[in-house]
Amino acid sequence: MQEVTLRVNGEDYTRKVEGRTLLAQFLRDQLRLTGTHIGCDTTQCGACTVLMDGRAVKSCTILAAAADGAEVQTIEGVAEGERLNFVQQAFHEHHALQCGFCTPGMVMAATDIIRRHEGVLDEMTVRRELEGNLCRCTGYHNIIKAVLAAAEVYRRSKAPAQATAN
């Protein structure tokens, strides 16, 4: 067992973990943040996607011990209190989920994609960058629509700042 400290959704947690404990297990079993899902054992489905130091990663394939000192954001950390954040809201409005199992991973992956591209996205880019997230229900169509809509919201929210700068 070794001690690790991770900042998860803005709060520091110090816990003892086994060498083999995966970040996804740490979040789910030790912190009880069960929004991060585990849908495969081949690192392919993306249901376990979280942001680690700002980048989307598959938490089922990272050791908790290796993540010592990292800053992690999970699906539990995105809503503003009772209010859905802009990515969740777009998923809701565009009917981008059915069973919802893949949704936490989709939202976290989408958040990285939107931020990295500063909200400037087209359908091809979204489809390409979401390849690591599988959905067995929706057929992806509405997920793509939701991500594009959320990107638009993100871009507009940044626009006034630029307008003032001009």
Partner 1 sequence: MYQTTYHKGQSLDQVRKLHAELPEPSYISGGFTLIPAMKNRLAAPENLIDLRALPELRGITRDGDRLRIGAASCHAEVAGSPEVAQSIPALALLADSIGDMQVRHMGTIGGSVANNDPAADYPAAVLALGATIITDQREIAAHDFFTGMYATDLAEGEIILRIDFPVPRSAGYAKLRNPASKYAIAASFVARGSDGSVRVAVTGAGEDGVFRWFDAEQALADRFETASVEALQPDPGMMLSDLHGSAEYRAALVKVMTARAVDAQGSVDIC
Ligand X SMILES: Cc1cc2nc3c(=O)[nH]c(=O)nc-3n(C[C@H](O)[C@H](O)[C@H](O)COP(=O)(O)OP(=O)(O)OC[C@H]3O[C@@H](n4cnc5c(N)ncnc54)[C@H](O)[C@@H]3O)c2cc1C
Q: Write out the residues near ligand X by the rule CB under 6 A.
A: 43-44
Token pair 């509405």: residue? 142
Q: Which does 99 bind (CB under 5 to 8 A by kind): partner 1, ligand X, ligand FES, none?
A: ligand FES
Q: Which does 138 bind (CB under 5 to 8 A by kind): ligand X, ligand FES, partner 1, none?
A: ligand FES
In single-letter form, the type of residue at position 24 comes to A
H-helix or E-strand containing 25?
helix 23-25
In single-letter form, the type of residue at position 103 comes to T
Nearest distance, CB of residue 106 and ligand FES, angstroms: 7
Nearest distance, CB of residue 110 and partner 1, angstroms: 11
**Tokens read off for 62:** 């990272």
User: What 3-state class would DSSP assign to 16?
Assistant: strand
Q: Which residues bind ligand FES (CB under 6 A)?
A: 38-40, 43-48, 58, 60, 97-102, 135-138
Number of H helices, E strands in the chain: 5, 5
Query: Tell me, what DSSP letter sits at residue 71?
Result: E
Enumerate binding residues for partner 1 (CB under 8 A): 2, 18-20, 22, 41-44, 46, 49, 55-58, 61-63, 65-66, 68, 109, 112-113, 129-133
